[in-house]
Amino acid sequence: MKIATVDKGNALNAGLTETKGSVVAITDDDCTVPPKWLVKFASIFATHPKVAVAVCSVEAGEHNPTAGFIPDYVLTGERMLTTMHDVRHVRGLGAGIAVRRSMVEEIGRFDPMLGPGSRFPSCDDRDIAMRALLARYHVFETSTIAVKHFGFRNWQQGRQLAHRTFSP
């Protein structure tokens, strides 16, 4: 399949189109996943039928912390987000996420305007979780799964990333 644009939202939607499973696990090209990663994500969705999005820990790979950083999201324990009041807790990284296909398709798939390569190059992961909560589905966070992220950024790149993500 040829993707017309290089943005992440369209790429994720193309992946949904090309895959056939009821649960789709997503990571980034600069990550490694642990053994049984897919089995663990599948068990979350099997156990919790209202979960539309599951998020796991994203741990920084080896790097020199004096030269820069690697974005991470380290969880402790498990948490079920079920209401719009919980939306303030949605913080996962798209480098460690899985979605229930039917629910994500029902809420309109991934927004092609969000994520790297798009007009708004951040928040694609948070958006899909917030829209799941708006549709009265659940978001599950777990520390029992952790991907290793190797996306090193020096401090200047970190400033650019923060500006890109958090500036109006």
Give the integer Cα–Cα distance in Å for 113 and 122: 9
Give the integer Cα–Cα distance in Å for 141 and 48: 12
From the list 134, 123, 66, 137, the residue with the least C-alpha distance to 94 is 123
78-132 pLDDT, tens digit each: 999 999 898 888 888 889 999 999 999 999 999 999 988 888 888 899 999 999 9
| Strand 78-81, strand 138-149: pairing | antiparallel
Question: What percentage of residues in the chain have a pLDDT greater than 70?
Answer: 95
To the question of domain 8-166 being in CATH 3.90.550.10, the answer is: yes
Rounded alpha-carbon distances, angstroms, from residue 79 to 87, 109, 153: 12, 23, 29
Q: How far is CA 38 from the centre of its chain?
A: 15
Decide if pLDDT at 25 tops 80.
yes
What is the residue extent of each domain of the chain? 8-166
Asked if residues 87 and 95 have their Cβ atoms less than 8 Å apart, the reply is no
DSSP H/E element including 158: helix 155-166
Give the integer Cα–Cα distance in Å for 132 and 104: 7
Q: What is the pTM of this model?
A: 0.90
Number of helices followed by number of strands (H, E) in the chain:
5, 8
How is residue 138 written in tokens? 């659940």
